[in-house]
């Protein structure tokens, strides 16, 4: 693996390898010395063109736990005010000796351009590009789901996939990179996905995606789900007529207290509620749902550091010129 740009082209082998490595990484967080020397001497640059303190801190913690050096670069400029070009910024970082660039950008495809051109030599990790992909988010979501799923079946989580798990992803799919990354990864891991959203928030062409589509949240719950993932919805979308009002949106597609109770009355006692954060309490998810024992929101954040440690380790520790081979013995 030279870059981590998307989950669409992440093979089952590599996906499971990342999840298994993350299990070992999470053990580090329980130790007194929460550090491993594996990436000592490597430099990881957080290149963030979009504000995101949470994701940036998560990547920073991950890199530091592996003893890598971290440089944070908050790039100026947006679609409105042009700052230094992506090309110039990348080449500056390369000259500074970056081994990995973790990039979050408001333009879909920016990490792909970095990886495809010869502007930099470093490994590129996509920390979220426009409305396209957010692979580490999908991986930490899958990690969280896998731990839950294997605990229910009593199997060890190492090497496991998500076959048979029913996952509903609800919200603004059209504008969500989290939804896209999750659909591809869950498909690869064998889960059954149902997207739930108003028709205006589903992209043209979604019928070709490897998942079901429903406009009805209650029906989807009634058919049975093992995990419900609520996506953040921006209230301002009603000004572009994606839905008439936040009130109507919440009532039809929000995970409110009624639906929380429905999980109990439907006998779905093990169903978890997930959210990538930050949450709009009262819009797409009620406070009670967010704080219920079913909610994995905090676990997702914790798991984010482990997943990002795994990603950085797998991209940077080895001889990155060769493809990752199976384990070799040498004493």
Partner 1 sequence: MAEQKSGNGTNGNGAYLIRGAAILGGDAADLLIRDGVIAARGANLSQTDTDAADGVTIIDADGLIALPGMVDVHTHLREPGREDAETVETGTRAAALGGFTAVHAMANSTPVADTAGVVEQVYSLGRAAGWVDVRPVGAVTVGLAGEQLAELGAMADSRARVRMFSDDGICVHDPVLMRRALEYVKAFDGVVAQHAQEPRLTAGAQMNEGEVSAVLGLTGWPAVAEESIIARDVLLAQHVGSRLHVCHVSTAGSVEIIRWAKGRGINVTAEVTPHHLLLTDELVRSYDPVYKVNPPLRTDADVRALREALADGTIDVVGTDHAPHPSEHKECEWAQAAMGMTGLETALSVVQHAMIETGLMTWADFARATSTAPAAIGRLADQGRPLEEGEPANLILVDPAARWTVDPSAMATMGRNSPFRGMELPGKVRATFFKGHPTVLDGSLNTPYRYPSDAAAAGTAAGTAATI
Partner 2 sequence: MTPVTQAPVPARVVLNQADIDRALTRIAHEILEANKGSQDLVLLGIPRRGYPLAVRLAQKIAAADSAVDASAIVGQLDVTMFRDDLSHHPTRPPHRTQLPLTGIDNKVVVLIDDVLYSGRTIRAALDALVDLGRPRIVRLAVLVDRGHRELPIRADHVGKNLPTSSSEKVRVRLEETDVIDGQPVNEVVIEAGA
What is the contact surface with partner 2 in residues (CB under 8 A)?
1, 17, 20-21, 23-24, 27, 31-33, 35-38, 66, 158, 313-315, 317-319, 322-325, 327-331
CA-based nearest residue to 312, from 62, 49, 46, 30 = 62
Q: Residue 30 or 236: which CB sits closer to partner 2?
A: 30
Residue of 130, 135, 198, 304 that binds partner 1 (CB under 8 A): 130
- Number of helices (H) and strands (E) in the chain: give both, helices first: 11, 9
Candidate list 208, 269, 328, 331; residue touching partner 1; CB under 8 A: 208
Q: Mask: binding to partner 1, 5-34, rule CB under 8 A, as x and -?
A: ---x--------------------------
Between 159 and 198, how does the x/- string for binding to partner 1 read (CB under 8 A)? Answer: ------------------x--x------------------
For residues 73 and 313, which CB has a smaller minimum distance to partner 2 in the complex? 313
Q: How many residues interact with partner 1 (rule CB under 8 A)?
A: 29
From the centroid of its chain, how far is CA 24? 19
314 binds, among partner 1, partner 2, none (CB under 5 to 8 A by kind): partner 2
For residues 93 and 263, which CB has a smaller minimum distance to partner 1 in the complex? 93
Residues of this chain, 79-118, that bind partner 1 according to CB under 8 A? 79, 82, 85-87, 105-110, 112-113, 116-117
Judged on CB neighbours under 10 Å (0-12, 13-18, 19+), 4 is buried
* Choices 124-132, 212-220, 288-296, 308-316 (CB under 8 A): range interacting with partner 1: 124-132
* Structure-block tokens of residue 165: 């798990």
Rounded Cα distance, 16 and 18, in Å: 5
Residue 86 contact, options partner 1, partner 2, none, Cβ 5-8 Å cut-off depending on partner type? partner 1
Task: Give the tokens for residue 179.
Answer: 């939804």
Closest CA relative to residue 8, chosen from 193, 181, 213: 181
Name the minimum Å distance from CB 1 to partner 2.
Answer: 8
CB 47 within 8 A of CB 178: no
* Side-chain-facing half-sphere of 61: CA atoms under 13 Å: 19
The tokens describing 212, both together, are 């079901």
Binding partner of 116, given partner 2, partner 1, none, CB within 5-8 angstroms per partner class? partner 1
Whether the CB-CB separation of 205 and 213 falls below 8 Å is answered with no
Place of tokens 């070009």: 85
b/e sequence 167-205, b meaning 16+ C-beta within 10 Å: bbbbbbbbbbbbbbbbbbbbbbbebbbbbbbbeebbbee
Among 205, 267, 293, 323, indicate the residue that binds partner 1 (CB under 8 A): 205
Q: Which residues, 51 to 80, sit near partner 1 by CB under 8 A?
A: 79
Residue from 95, 204, 298, 327 touching partner 1 (CB under 8 A): that is: 204
């Amino acid at each position: 693996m030279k870059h981590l740009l998307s989950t669409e082209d992440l093979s089952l082998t590599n996906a499971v390898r990342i999840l298994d490595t993350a299990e070992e990484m999470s053990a580090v967080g329980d130790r007194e010395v929460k550090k491993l020397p594996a990436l000592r001497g490597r430099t990881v640059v957080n290149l963030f063109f979009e504000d995101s303190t949470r994701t940036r801190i998560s990547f920073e913690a991950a890199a530091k736990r592996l003893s890598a050096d971290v440089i944070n670069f908050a790039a100026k400029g947006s679609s409105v005010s042009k700052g230094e070009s992506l090309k110039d910024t990348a080449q500056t970082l390369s000259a500074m000796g970056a081994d990995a660039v973790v990039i979050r950008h408001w333009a879909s495809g920016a990490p792909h351009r970095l990886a495809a051109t010869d502007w930099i030599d470093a490994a590129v990790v996509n920390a979220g590009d426009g409305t396209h992909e957010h692979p580490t988010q999908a991986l930490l979501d899958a990690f969280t789901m896998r731990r839950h799923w294997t605990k229910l079946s009593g199997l060890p989580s190492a090497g496991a996939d998500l076959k048979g798990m029913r996952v509903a992803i609800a919200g603004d799919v059209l504008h969500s990179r989290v939804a896209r990354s999750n659909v591809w990864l869950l498909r690869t891991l064998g889960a059954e996905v149902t997207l739930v959203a108003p028709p205006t928030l589903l992209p043209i062409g979604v019928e070709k995606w490897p998942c079901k589509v429903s406009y009805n949240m209650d029906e989807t719950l009634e058919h049975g789900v093992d995990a419900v993932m609520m996506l953040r919805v921006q209230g301002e979308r009603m000004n572009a007529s994606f839905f008439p009002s936040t009130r109507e949106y919440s009532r039809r597609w929000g995970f409110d207290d009624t639906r929380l109770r429905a999980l109990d009355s439907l006998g779905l006692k093990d169903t978890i509620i997930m959210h990538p954060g930050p949450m709009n309490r009262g819009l797409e998810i009620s406070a009670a749902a967010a704080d219920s024992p079913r909610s994995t929101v905090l676990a997702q954040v914790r798991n984010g550091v482990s997943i990002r440690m795994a990603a950085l380790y797998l991209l940077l520790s080895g001889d990155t010129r060769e493809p990752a081979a199976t384990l070799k013995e040498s004493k």
